[in-house]
Amino acid sequence: MLLTSLFPLIVAVAANPSGETVSPTPQMWAGHHVVYGSRKVPVRGRVRTRMDTFVLAKIVERGDQLEIVEQPCDVKITPVGGINVTMNATDVPAAKLDLSANTPNQWQGSAENGWGDQDIDHDGHPGMTVTVDAPICSGKLYVSQRARTVARLHRAGNHISGSTHVSVHQTILGAEGACLSVLAKDTREVVSGPRAYVPVPPQTTCEQLAGKPWPVKATRD
């Protein structure tokens, strides 16, 4: 990737006032997560689902601890059974993940993130507004979400990658349209897939990357 070659990992190592070693991990990284799941669709039965999340993350390494705080820039949900779901990813709250090293350059950890009924996208409706475009039943859903993420990551040079396992509980807070009001139900599902990060310039924004090839692509190991 071009950005990877232009902004390699700095080699210097510094120590903080407590004497704890802080590695030269760049502050800003571009990340890509892919999660796969399955869902029952009328007529077709159980089908595979896929969601791609593109993030900017601040990553700090302290001793054997790795802290990742990331903000989504875009979310793409692959249509299933003719149903297309979209949301404004930049309104999703930043998520934090704390990991501990098993061996050098390998970490694992878990975190719980999400939101409740607060109007996080400031559109006058509770929770996050999700737009549903379907042949029979379209409209808007207002949802809250809690997710527990378990991640295992490793670093090779200036590339961090690994896998994610996520348990998601989504609650319907309301709906626009009679059809969705009747059919939309709370859901619990487990999804998993790869994630990857590469360093980008410190002041990189979601807007600067919009419409361009994303700097990193997560693939299964």
Q: According to the model, what pLDDT value does residue 106 have?
A: 94
Q: According to the model, what pLDDT value does residue 102 have?
A: 83
DSSP class of residue 80 equals B
Cα–Cα distance, 149 to 145 (Å, whole number): 13
Q: What is the pTM of this model?
A: 0.83
What's the mean pLDDT in 205-212?
A: 95
Name which of 64-68, 80-84, 144-148, 168-172 the model is least confident about: 80-84
Confirm if 110 and 156 have CB atoms less than 8 A apart: no
Domains and their CATH numbers in the chain: 2-209 (2.40.160.20)
Q: According to the model, what pLDDT value does residue 137 have?
A: 85
Q: According to the model, what pLDDT value does residue 29 have?
A: 97
Q: Dig out the tokens for 66 from the structure.
A: 């790795």
pLDDT tens per residue, range 90-106 = 999 899 999 999 888 89
Confidence of residue 44 (pLDDT cuts 50, 70, 90): low
Confidence of residue 142 (pLDDT cuts 50, 70, 90): very high
Q: Given the structure tokens 């609650």, which residue do they identify? A: 171
Residue, of 6 and 185, whose pLDDT is higher: 185
What's the mean pLDDT in 111-121?
A: 94
Cα–Cα distance, 211 to 141 (Å, whole number): 27
Name which of 37-46, 118-127, 179-188, 190-199 the model is least confident about: 37-46
